[in-house]
Every structure is written in structure tokens, then in C-alpha cells.
Amino acid sequence: MHGRDPVLPVEAVMCPPTITYTSSDDYKSEMVTRLQEAFTLAKDNLQAAQRKQKEQYDLKSDVINYDIGEKIWVFNPSTKPGLSTKLLHNWHGPYIIIDKLSDVNYKIQMCDSKKSEQTVHVNRIKHFVDPDDRPITDEGDIGSNIDSIENNDNTMVKILDTMRSRNESKRLEKHYFVQYENGETKWVKENDIKDFAIINDFHISNENA
């Protein structure tokens, strides 16, 4: 703690000092030199350890480049009291990239607000994919549960998911996975949904997720 090994009383009596100083200035100069050598050695060891850790990290790391103006998701695992972490959304957005500060740091902001600028590391972001741009599939793959609203007397209360598929004419059609008042769920064509409010609520909830 004091830059030297402690001298016990028995050592002071039995063992003569190995180093003698003619003045306090000599002792102070020697102490400063030894401390500087210790600081230099500690700094070199720390930098060597950092370089080794970086080399190990870079072996498994792929830096992804993002363009200015691109929409992204941001990883923010915030926990709310009383809620399970499994039920919380960890990816928030969409955000938009407004500046690239370095290869690994970006300045971003919410798409609908200019007051939420923040700087994030590239490891916390990923490409934003609009739900409407999901891969399409043939209508036959959806199953026989794509029914028209005229065949169901229950009231639609909520939309759970959406996808696009090709009809018999090979044209793209949008379908929604709808939950009814009685708890039943099924895929329904967009044209068969008369309550546009639940469609609007579904897209708003996805934007705020």
C-alpha cells in the first residue's frame, strides 16, 4: 500500500537495511521511479489483455453496415415491475438512422419524432422488416380455415397476424388471422373484413411494438 514491504520490529532489530538513503530527497526520487515503473507495467499488461480480448471477439463478430435513412429495430430489454421478461418486447421501433458516427456507432431517432435522438452500438440494432413485406405463400398452404365473413356469424374482435398469398388467378391477396368473440381464430381475406377499425388497430400496435 505504501510502495514497499512493511518492516516488522524483529526485522528492524535482526536484519540491517539493505538500502540506505543519504537524504529524504533520495528516497523520494527512488519511490517516484519505482511507482512510474509499476504504472507502466500495469498499463502494458492491461493493453495486452485488451488486444487479446478484441482478437477473440472479432473471430466471431461480423460487422453489419447500415445506410443513413434506413429503418431499424433497437434492442432495449427494459423490465417493467410485475411483468415477466418473457412477455415483454425487447426490440423497439422502427427507428431511422440519421448519422453514422463510426463503423460500430450510429445516431438514430424514432420515425415519428425528432426529439428522441440517441447513439447506439451496432450490436443493438437489426434491419426493420415491415409486416406487409413478409414472404408470400400459395393459398393452399394456408389451409382450409380461410373462410369468408359471410360464413361466420360471430363478431371479429381482434387481428393477430397477417400474410399474403396467391389466389387461383396467381394474384396476391392479403389475409388476416382473426380472433372472434367466441374465441375461435381463422384466416380471413382482407376484402371480407368489414370492420376497418380492427385492421387499423392491428397496424398501429405493430408500429408501437
**CATH code of the domain in which 88 resides:** 2.30.30.140
Q: Going by DSSP bridges, is the β-strand pair 91-100/71-75 parallel, antiparallel, or unpaired?
A: antiparallel
Max CA separation in the chain (angstroms): 106
Say if residue 141 is in the same domain as residue 204. Answer: yes
Supply the pLDDT for residue 47.
95
What's residue 10's pLDDT?
Answer: 78
Q: Which residues of the chain have pLDDT under 50?
A: 146, 148-152
Residue 143, pLDDT score: 52
Q: Residue 8: what are its φ and ψ, rounded to 5°? A: -80, 155
Q: So what's the pLDDT on residue 38?
A: 94
**Does some domain include residue 66?**
no
Structural domain boundaries enclosing 112: 71-128
The grid coordinates of residue 99 equal 448519422
Q: Which amino acid is at 185?
A: T
Give the per-residue pLDDT at 150: 46
Contact 165, 141 (CB under 8 A): yes
Between strands 156-166 and 91-100, the pairing is: unpaired
What are the tens digits of pLDDT across the range 134-158?
665 555 555 555 454 444 456 888 8
Residue 75 maps to a domain: yes
In a domain, 40, yes or no: yes
Give CA 80 to chain center in angstroms: 17
Backbone angles phi, psi at 107, to 5 degrees: -100, 130
Residue 3 in grid coordinates: 510502495
* DSSP H or E segment with residue 44: helix 24-59
Among 128, 144, 173, identify where a domain stops.
Answer: 128
User: 118 near 93, Cβ under 8 Å?
Assistant: no
